[in-house]
Structure 1
Amino acid sequence: MIKLVRLDYRLVHGQILAAWVNHLSAQRIILVDDAAANDEMKSAALKLAKPAGIRLNFFTVEKAITKMPKILELNENIMMVFGTTKALVDVCKATGAINEIQYGATFNKDGSKQIDQSVFLDESEQSDTRELLAMGVKLYSQQTPSFPKEPITSV
């Protein structure tokens, strides 16, 4: 069962491992990010951060789309972490399987609009976010379980 779908450019880091994995009793983390899935060095580094007993998968967007039916049938608590808004849009469009997304953190680039303390969206990411909202996907920002959910209803 997918317990959480999160947008976070950092993929696996302390907040996810210390707060979210425990809060969700997650047994598997699926990272959906073409760059990480296709980079052995990056994948190896991210695997080092993984706690014992937690399964970690690296999927390209294409593989996530293909594997979604199996993911939905797994009898595990699953956390999916996407590296980009584009990946989220592509998977949501192709599968229709994701109806709620937590925006955790995006990179603060020149020209980005700040949505909350850790979410900054450039024009392309704003467009992707509007597309997700138009699909009826519920969006909210939340850093850790102790923070309140802040709905994202427009950009």
Structure 2
Amino acid sequence: MVGIIIASHGEFANGILQSGSMIFGEQKDVKAVTLKPSEGPDDIKGKLEEAVASFENQDEVLFLVDLWGGTPFNQVNNLFEAHKDKWAIVAGLNLPMLIEAYASRMSMDSARDIAAHIIETGVEGIKVRPEELQPAEKSAPAVAQPSNAGTPGKFEYVLARIDSRLLHGQVATAWTKTTNPTRIIVVSDNVAHDDLRKSMIQQAAPSGVKAHVVPIDQMIKLAKDDKHFGGQRALLLFETPQDALRAIEGGVPLKTVNVGSMSHSVGKVQPNTVLAFDQDDIDTFKKLEKDGVSFDVRKVPTDSKGDMDAILRKAQEELNKQKNA
């Protein structure tokens, strides 16, 4: 795997490393190297050498640096000279670029290939509101569509996820990169009737992916008459397990549901750090299981899968204790 070193003036490298872990999960062979106000070039050079030495594969290293021409960049560049046939440096780091680098390591084994690939994502991540302040995009060559795009066919459901936060960073980056949808569909009666939330979801869609918000009954109709969606890869997002159950029992053909996040509220218990349940939630998951649905309990693709049965048992025990207290 390509090793990644994040180098910066001050604590920026540590901060963006933490942000990347929150969105994409903890990463192997990634190090943050910082230049403190009291330190000089030799100090950060030593830290860089130590970071490289800690990697399993020291032949393929990608350096993501905050500023071209600054001390961190200059010291990285000095080390780079002896390895420029393999190593690569990208300056101007931002969070979309870092997430893209993490995703790219899953399929690319060359630091130079990853460096070339992530630049566009870094640029696309810079956006402004009001929109009229955004520079006009340069015309680009048309992107080839799948050979069956627009021809009669059916949805391919690449992921169905229960997440009270719906379309947020972990979905827009980690899960989108892993599943490669062409459409993200939020299936929710509540959101479909909330113009502000609907607008925010549409704006949060990653580049090249269309985001839609539809009521549950509309999704059921689409699932039963999806002959016009040939070549479309759908990622479905449900706010609650109850919405997912209603959609599945109505005819949306889902066999596996990813359980990512369920927010805590009064009366709920929290058997782990990201999932909270009341009795209705537990009963709903049992109904889903009875309907033949399996559960993939993960925040991000790189997490290990949780045991839903064990999580539900613990939640039930805590609810029983709460009831008898």
Task: Determine if the alignment matches structure 1 residue 9 to structure 2 residue 164.
Answer: yes
SS in 1 for 2:299: coil
Query: Aligned in 2, Cα 1:18/1:92: closer, same or farther, shift over 3 Å?
Result: same
Contact 1:133–1:153, Cα closer than 8 Å, also in 2: no
Task: Determine if the alignment matches structure 1 residue 151 to structure 2 residue 311.
Answer: no
Residue identity in the other structure for 1:15? Q
Residue of structure 2 equivalent to 1:47: 202
Deviation at 1:115, TM superposition (A): 4.4
Residue of structure 2 equivalent to 1:108: 264
Q: TM-score, normalised by structure 1?
A: 0.91
Unaligned runs of 5+ in 2: 1-155, 313-325
Residue of structure 2 equivalent to 1:86: 242
Residue identity in the other structure for 1:127? D
Counterpart CA distance in 2 for 1:140 and 1:117 is: 16
Q: TM-score, normalised by structure 2?
A: 0.45
Counterpart CA distance in 1 for 2:164 and 2:303 is: 19
Contact 1:31–1:59, Cα closer than 8 Å, also in 2: yes
Task: Determine if the alignment matches structure 1 residue 38 to structure 2 residue 226.
Answer: no
Q: 1:131 aligns with which of 274, 284, 287?
A: 287
Contact 2:182–2:232, Cα closer than 8 Å, also in 1: yes
SS in 1 for 2:232: coil
Deviation at 1:111, TM superposition (A): 2.8
Two-structure CA RMSD over aligned residues (Å): 1.7
SS in 1 for 2:166: coil
Deviation at 1:41, TM superposition (A): 1.2
Larger RCO (alpha carbons 8 Å, 6+ apart): 1
Deviation at 1:116, TM superposition (A): 3.4
Residues 62-104 of structure 1 deviation map (CA, whole Å, 9 limit, x = unaligned) = 1111111345853122210111111111111111611110111
Deviation at 1:42, TM superposition (A): 1.1
Counterpart CA distance in 2 for 1:32 and 1:74 is: 20
SS in 2 for 1:145: coil
Deviates more, 1:99-108 or 1:46-55: 46-55
Unaligned runs of 5+ in 1: none
Deviation at 1:122, TM superposition (A): 1.3
Runs of 4+ in 1 over 3 A off after TM superposition: 70-74
Task: Determine if the alignment matches structure 1 residue 61 to structure 2 residue 216.
Answer: yes
Identity of aligned residues (%): 21
SS in 2 for 1:140: strand
